[in-house]
Every structure is written in structure tokens, then in C-alpha cells.
Amino acid sequence: MQGPLARMLDARRLHLQHGPIDLIVEAFGPDWHRALTQAEARFPTVLTGLVAELDLLRAPLRLVRPTGPVAVRMTAAVAPFRQFVTPMAAVAGAVADEVLAAMITGCRLDKAYVNNGGDVAVWLAEGQELIAAVSDRGDAGRVRLRADLAARGIATSGWRGRSHSLGIADAVTVVARDAAVADVAATLIANAVDLPGHPLVARVPASDMSPDSDLGARLVTVDVGPLDTAEIQAALAAGQKAAAAMLGDGLIAAAALFLADQTALVGAFPTPQISHISGEHDARFQTA
């Protein structure tokens, strides 16, 4: 595997890539360049630290006692969820949180973000906000984070994504206190959007797709056929129930669930009431 790579995408955005980790980093404010330098300095040991504890992180939570900083973030993120989940459900968000923590240390910034393939960690100074475009569903696919709200993490999961899902959601986007918790919640809510045993949903054991998967022989979705309106609504309702329980437990701030042509919202999903967002940065992230 090639070593860690760093390059500027343009005058302000830094791209960091190492194996499966692919980050876009940006900061605004007097010390924005220093913030990018600190992110780049922290990045080279992120993946190696995870690899050193990978077997442990694929194990059930009760067996996990990690020591690396990203691994500790992952374990802390999954701990409050009362169902089967391994720390790997938080890996993308935890990496984003860790690099963001490094880049903001000692820096005078207005705002900053780390986007790890759509799982986004955000830092905001007083009075600031960021708008993230997380799907193509119009304003339902855009999230506004504000400095006066506690949420600083956004994550999206679904069976069409880069990791395996037990459910049939095209996508579930979650807003939570940090990216790691949002990552776990999005994974679990996406799992809950489901029609168990439906003949048009094709599934295979996760271990057939990835022999070392933390999901083992659990069945993951590989195809979803055309569903009727009632079936779509039933699957979304199951996901909404799971999301509502997490909202009630204070684990998430909001969630948006997408399946076929329908969308379901839980909580006060912070969508921007504007028709155009300026300052586009990449296909998945924009900032006002």
C-alpha cells in the first residue's frame, strides 16, 4: 500500500489520502494555513494506529480495550448504543474528529471541517455556520450546522455506500454531537430501514463480501428490487422508530432517511431555507 499522500486541491482545500482514508480539509480564519499544516502533520500515523488494533476493533464492544486515540474515540462513540455494534461502525467519523482536533489546536479560526467521504467533523466559532450537501434530494439533502447548536458531526450510511448495511435504505444522514457518534447512528438507523425476508431484497453473508468483516455471517444487502409505496413507507417507518429512540436518548440531533423516491425526517433536521448555496467545494460538501 502506498504511504500517506497530501496535496492542495486548490488555494484553500487540502486532500489527505492513505489507504481507505480519504479526507478533504478546509479552514477559515486568520490561522487557516497553520490549521491545514497541523492536519497534515497528524495524518500520517492515523491509519497505522488503527491497523495496529484492527482485530480488537472488529470485536464486540465488551471485549474492546483500545489504546490509540482514534480507537478510543471509536469505542466511546459506540458505547451508548444498546444493540450489536462494533467500534468499526465509528471509524470514518472518528478519523474526521481526530484530524479536526489536531488542526484547530492553538489556531484562531472562524470555522473548519474535515470531510471523510461524506462523514464530516465541524468546528465553528461564535456566530458561524456551515452548510453541508449530503444528497441530491434538494434541501432535504442539505444540513445547516450553527454555532449556537451543539451538533458538530454529520454522517451518512446506506446499502449503496462504501460499507455493508443490514438494511435497505438508500441513505440515512444523521446530525449528532460529533462525527463518530453520527457515523454509528447512521449505520444503525440504515440497518433498521428494512423489510425482513422480502423476496426482492438480495442479501449475502458479510463474510462472503469481506472475509474479515466485523459483521461476520450476518446478511448484508446487495440489491433491492422495485418496491411499492406501502413497502417503502413500512421500511422507512421502521427506521424512523429507531431514529426516534436515539433522539429520545439524546444520542442524535436529527436524521433524514431516504428510500426510493421517499424521505422521512426525525427531529428538527437543520435544513437551510435557501435556494442556492455559494462556495461549492466538492460533490458532497458545500459551505455558505
**pLDDT at residue 274, as a whole number:** 36
As a whole number of angstroms, the distance between CA 85 and CA 75 comes to 10
Nearest to 101 by CA among 8, 109, 64: 109
- Please give the CATH superfamily to which domain 5-267 belongs: ApbE-like domains (3.10.520.10)
- Alpha-carbon torsion, ordered 155, 157, 160, 162, to 10 deg: 70
**pLDDT at residue 139, as a whole number:** 52
C-alpha separations of 18 from 23, 50, 122 in Å: 9, 12, 21
Tell me the pTM.
0.91
pLDDT digits (tens, 9 = 90+) for 181-218: 999 999 999 999 999 999 999 999 999 988 888 888 89
pLDDT less than 70: residues of the chain: 1, 61, 63-64, 134-141, 271-288
C-alpha separations of 200 from 5, 168, 192, 204 in Å: 42, 11, 17, 13
